[in-house]
Amino acid sequence: MGKKFKKLFSNLCCSYCKNDINRDAFTVVRKEKGANVVRMVCPKCGKDFGLGILKIHEGVGQPHEPLEIVQGAEPITLDEVLDVHKYLHGLD
Ligand SMILES: [Zn+2]
């Protein structure tokens, strides 16, 4: 997934400190089939951009889906992350 990350985020930078966004900024919160729930935190200034859905399309000839970053106005608390865990677990 490293190459895809590099390609996806080659033009992105942190809106606060302008640090380049790379794979180090992402923590996989949950892995799903074809998609990962990731948390994006700037590795330089620590700005928390919240959770996003990273869709992974494997195979040749499939269109690349753009990354969806869900940016909330308020920082996400641990309780909210746990709620997301519970919610996602309920989808199984
Ligand atoms: Zn930053």
- Find the 71 Cα to ligand 1 centroid distance in Å: 14
**pLDDT higher than threshold 90 for residue 44:** yes
How many whole angstroms separate alpha carbon 31 and alpha carbon 50? 16
Contact 7, 21 (CB under 8 A): no
Secondary structure letter of residue 19 according to DSSP: P
Contact 1, 19 (CB under 8 A): no
- Find the 89 Cα to ligand 1 centroid distance in Å: 31
Helix, strand or coil, per DSSP, at residue 25: helix
Rounded to two decimals, the pTM is: 0.53
Helix, strand or coil, per DSSP, at residue 22: coil
Higher pLDDT, 65 or 18: 18
- Find the 15 Cα to ligand 1 centroid distance in Å: 7
Residue 39 is which amino acid? R
- Find the 84 Cα to ligand 1 centroid distance in Å: 25
Domain ranges of the chain: 2-91
